[in-house]
Structure 1
Amino acid sequence: MVLTRSASRAAKCIFKWLPNEILHLVATELAPTDLAVLCRASRLLKNIASPLLYYSVELSTSSSLISFARSICQSVDASLPNSARLLEVAKFTDKKPPISPRIVKEINDALCRLIRLEVLILLQRSIDYTYLLEHGQFPQLVVFQYLVPSHALPALTSFLNRHKNITDLGFISPDSLKFSTPLSLPNLQSFMGSFAFLSTLDLTDVSLTHLTLLLYPPDIAVSHAVLVNLHEMKMLSTVEVMGMHANERAILHVIAGHLPHVQELVFHHFTSTSSPISPNESVNIAASLETLGELRSIDFGGVGGNVIEDRHMVAQWSAACKSLTSVILDERQWDFKENDWVVSWNL
């Protein structure tokens, strides 16, 4: 986009004679704070910097979210909301009083104007986004992550039914929730959520490549029934497991029985004092790994253990799974190099 200006090329200020394309290239290298300064420098620089400033927006305080919403609603530039492609509202770091319903409505109105969003991440539970879910229309939306309250499920169902282009979907919930009716997202490639949420997705024509499972105790009982629907998904290469309990790695047996094509397994631990893997558990893990003929990498993170014990377990697992080339255990990465397992890094 070429902007016009009346200033003479003979003017001494460099911004008066540099081509707008050059100024735009320079602006693309600036941090958001610098772009904000440019917006206050002159009308010319504001016209160049504003679209870049609003292209990717990450908000982590209530005050920044309110300011952003008001700037969208009060902007005299009707094209400004169309600049936004990515919006992330993270968990607030400030300790402000609850936001009033009037301001929440203002925030929802502002977000509904960002009709060219491609990425929408809403992880702030103190804001009620029901209005956005009911009325928002984002034709280019491909990534959607949401911290789901139970009361929002009907509105969320409506929202997803309007956005069939979503390829990356993530649900985080304080409880194990599920939709009342099946959902069809034919373009879905990556999913993050509980077994309950996964069970309500129509996976008939879906080609998942990345699956992140959030474990809740009730979910484990139904894991077999859910994962059997993924058995034929040869494109599903990466599976991550997140759970609040140290024994969440027990789900490995279920995964091994239903997802034989997995190439990468990652187990995240939410507790800082996860118990070490016992010899019996190591044997059970090796038995599960025997069925994963394409597995290249497995990550157990930091579960407490020493180098000698870890080396023995890594050797045991690689004997069971010949394709294994990388193991992360107790914050050490083991790689198979020149017919031997060596520690590549140690945190």
Structure 2
Amino acid sequence: MVLTRSASRAKCIFIWLPNEILDLIASELSTADLAVVCRTSRLLRNIAMPLLYRCVKLSTRSGLMLFARSLLRSFEASLPNLVREFDVAHFTDKKATVYPGLVVHTNHTLCRMIHLESLTLLERSIDYTHLLEHGQFPELVVFQYLVPSHALPALTSFLNCHKNITDLGLISPCSLKFSTPLSLPKLQSFMGSFAFLSALDLTDVSLTDLTLLLYPPDIAAAHAVLANLHEMKMLSTVEVMGMDANERAILHVIAAHLPHVQELVFHHCTTTSSPISSEESLNIAASLETLGQLRSINFGTVGENVIEDRVMVAQWSAACKGLTSVILDERQWDLKENDWVVSWNL
């Protein structure tokens, strides 16, 4: 449907272009350009505003404050309905003071964004308890949250009321545990600790991607939790993020319970990690023998010896016949014509 255009401005090309063309042009503009376009005419403002506010990413206290204020103005009452993705990352202005008023404004502003599809809340200085208790987002499918211990009751209720969530990330500075089961039947991707994963009702869930956060790795808990995922044939990618090299022990648990995994990634949260010893390499190879569908494994940075790396890669590929890609010490080894070659160095 074409918006009403003034006949007195008939010489302007924008008057005659269909809205679909204007939408395509506007979609190629930067955020700064869209802000300028919004001030040119009512027609272009109506086209640019949904694009300008569709995805909001904030990383400073001042930016969050200005955004919250703009959406609380009476003449901007419709703006919250335009937001589809909202992301508050860790504030870059660490020394900035977060006043109680900003917390209140932020929570009330978020509660008005009833069409949210993606919500990421990773700034720990903002308490989102009010949002968790009162926010209702029927279209929400992605939710990422830095979880404080006091918010667990409200978070449980919030998650169980948003059953359309397909992508869930729960991050905490320490291992926390829900006292009430979580029911998210459409969940496909999960990031969190074993404690959070154990709270999920996995009866009808079909996970495809799993990211495990270790605080530190509890092997007994890993066995208990991953055993429940044994029948999930769609689970193809598993990432492990640990505070030290101990997360390699999780590989043996994964091999025991998730034989259908096709991609394994191990992230090290410290700047250094101990190299893989010859004995560890043999243990890894033994675990890989049970992962018949594994195609790629990424160990990140664990040493600096290319010759030893080649030996380990050959050892692992002999144990896992389907393996075609190995990332080790920031080098990617690819199997080409029955020979392992380094494709690139980071």
Same fold (TM over 0.5): yes
Mark the CA change 1:243 to 1:218 in structure 2 (over 3 Å): closer, same or farther: closer
Q: Paired residue for 1:49?
A: 48
Q: Paired residue for 1:304?
A: 303
Cα distance between partner residues in 2 of 1:170 and 1:200: 13
Range that drifts further, 210-219 or 170-179: 210-219
Is 1:246 aligned to 2:242, yes or no?
no
Residue type of the alignment partner of 1:320 = A
Residue type of the alignment partner of 1:224 = H
Is 1:287 aligned to 2:286, yes or no?
yes
Q: Is the 8 A contact 2:216 2:243 kept in 1?
A: no
1:43 CA displacement: 2.8
Q: Is the 8 A contact 1:208 1:235 kept in 2?
A: yes
Cα distance between partner residues in 2 of 1:326 and 1:162: 41
Cα distance between partner residues in 2 of 1:37 and 1:311: 55
Is 1:345 aligned to 2:310, yes or no?
no
CA deviation digits over 1:17-37, x for unaligned, max 9? 433332222111011111112
TM-score (norm 1): 0.96
User: How does 1:198-347 map onto structure 2 within 5 Å?
Assistant: 198-217=197-216, 219-347=218-346
User: How does 1:121-132 map onto structure 2 within 5 Å?
Assistant: 121-132=120-131
Q: Name the count of aligned residue pairs.
A: 346
Mark the CA change 1:96 to 1:16 in structure 2 (over 3 Å): closer, same or farther: farther
Q: Paired residue for 2:182?
A: 183
Q: Paired residue for 2:80?
A: 81
Q: Is the 8 A contact 2:198 2:225 kept in 1?
A: yes
- Give the SS at the match of 1:333: strand
1:41 CA displacement: 2.8
User: How does 1:30-179 map onto structure 2 within 5 Å?
Assistant: 30-74=29-73, 76-179=75-178
1:76 CA displacement: 2.1
Cα distance between partner residues in 1 of 2:123 and 2:210: 23
1:16 CA displacement: 4.1
CA deviation digits over 1:207-245, x for unaligned, max 9? 111000000126333111111101111111000000111
1:306 CA displacement: 1.4
CA deviation digits over 1:290-342, x for unaligned, max 9? 11111000000111121111110000000001111110000100111111111
Q: Is the 8 A contact 1:35 1:50 kept in 2?
A: yes
Range that drifts further, 313-322 or 215-224: 215-224
Cα distance between partner residues in 1 of 2:69 and 2:14: 29
CA deviation digits over 1:66-106, x for unaligned, max 9? 11112222152543222111111111112353222122111
Mark the CA change 1:75 to 1:283 in structure 2 (over 3 Å): closer, same or farther: farther
Q: Which sections of structure 2, spanning at least 5 residues, go unmatched?
A: none
Cα distance between partner residues in 2 of 1:247 and 1:260: 21
TM-score (norm 2): 0.96
Q: Paired residue for 1:6?
A: 6
- Give the SS at the match of 2:8: coil
Cα distance between partner residues in 1 of 2:304 and 2:20: 57
Q: Is the 8 A contact 1:98 1:126 kept in 2?
A: no
Cα distance between partner residues in 2 of 1:21 and 1:9: 20
CA deviation digits over 1:162-212, x for unaligned, max 9? 100101100000010011111111111110000000111111111111000
The ranges of structure 1 where at least 4 consecutive aligned residues each deviate by more than 6 angstroms after the TM superposition are none
Cα distance between partner residues in 1 of 2:74 and 2:332: 51
- Give the SS at the match of 2:298: strand
CA deviation digits over 1:26-63, x for unaligned, max 9? 11101111111212233332222111101111111111
Cα distance between partner residues in 2 of 1:333 and 1:51: 42
Cα distance between partner residues in 1 of 2:210 and 2:342: 28
Range that drifts further, 38-47 or 195-204: 38-47
- Give the SS at the match of 1:108: helix
Cα distance between partner residues in 2 of 1:192 and 1:137: 22
- Give the SS at the match of 2:145: strand
Residue type of the alignment partner of 2:275 = P
Cα distance between partner residues in 1 of 2:318 and 2:253: 20
Mark the CA change 1:172 to 1:260 in structure 2 (over 3 Å): closer, same or farther: same
Give the percent of matched residue pairs that are identical in Structure 1 and Structure 2.
Answer: 79
- Give the SS at the match of 1:211: strand
Mark the CA change 1:10 to 1:232 in structure 2 (over 3 Å): closer, same or farther: closer
Cα distance between partner residues in 1 of 2:305 and 2:217: 33
Q: Is the 8 A contact 1:176 1:219 kept in 2?
A: no
Q: Is the 8 A contact 2:117 2:140 kept in 1?
A: yes
Q: Is the 8 A contact 1:57 1:88 kept in 2?
A: yes
1:122 CA displacement: 0.6
